[in-house]
A = this chain, B = another copy of it.
Amino acid sequence: MQPFSALAKKLRSHLDSDFDLPRLLASLTTRSITVDARRELDFGSRRNRAYLIDDGWACTYKILRNGTRQIVDVGIPGDFIGARTLLFRSRDYSGSSLTRAVLYEISPRMLEATYQLSPKAGGALLWAISQDQSILSERLVDLGRRTALERVAHYILELEYRLGAIGSSGGGHFVCPLSQTLLADVLGLTPIHLNRVMRELREQNLISYGEGRVTILDRERLADLSSFDARYLDGPGLDPER
């Protein structure tokens, strides 16, 4: 696979079609790192580090004293991970690869250099970081005010949408390496309850799943059920005049 192609796809609508973002980024980043599935990510010690996920999935999470875990971000190809605390002196969360993954280390200098070489490309990167924040705040609404069923439905639609933006979903189905335990830790539920909710969605013929794949059977009812409104993802299909 071409390096940076997932990010380039995600930012397609923010850049001229003849702009070669991968080439620009390749000139600015150090080599890539390949990690196996379920490996802890090294976010640095003296200085915080962050990554661009080029291939595979990764996440950041916090473990609480009572042993529970909350996954804060789930990153797919083209997403940044750990960028939140790049400028911090400290850090109080951990990260892990979810699948075998290819990562590029990023630094504040790289963002800066991108901006100077091409303000438009720099702006596109900032847009991507904004989108991460917007996803985070939508998840906050999930956990604060939506039922488990709504949460799960909403999250499946979000994943499908995000994967679609990088060409990794189509026809309503996608490959999802998240186990039910992980999904529960993303959505603030117990694995047991998540399992029951998944069954409910399956029994209502809204989704089907198995063997690491999820299929959306009735997008409309699913979106209605979870009041999914893709505006928080600011995708290219959205009307700028609204």
**A208 in contact (CB, < 8 A):** no
**A242 in contact (CB, < 8 A):** yes
Copies of this protein in the complex: 2
Measured between beta carbons, the chain B residues less than 8 angstroms from A123 are 87, 108
CB distance from A48 to the nearest CB of B (A): 10
Please determine whether B141 and A140 come into contact, CB atoms closer than 8 angstroms: no
Among A225-242, those with CB < 8 Å from B are: 227, 229, 231-232, 234, 238-242
A85 to B108, CA, bound (A): 21
Candidates B92, B139, B143; contact of A229 at CB < 8 Å? B92
Measured between beta carbons, the chain B residues less than 8 angstroms from A140 are 70, 72, 136, 139-140, 143
Additional 7 contacts, C-beta under 8 A, given A93-B137, A143-B144? A64-B227, A85-B134, A88-B127, A89-B239, A108-B123, A139-B140, A145-B188
6 example contacts (A-B, Cβ-Cβ < 8 A) are as follows A65-B227, A73-B137, A84-B130, A87-B126, A133-B133, A140-B140
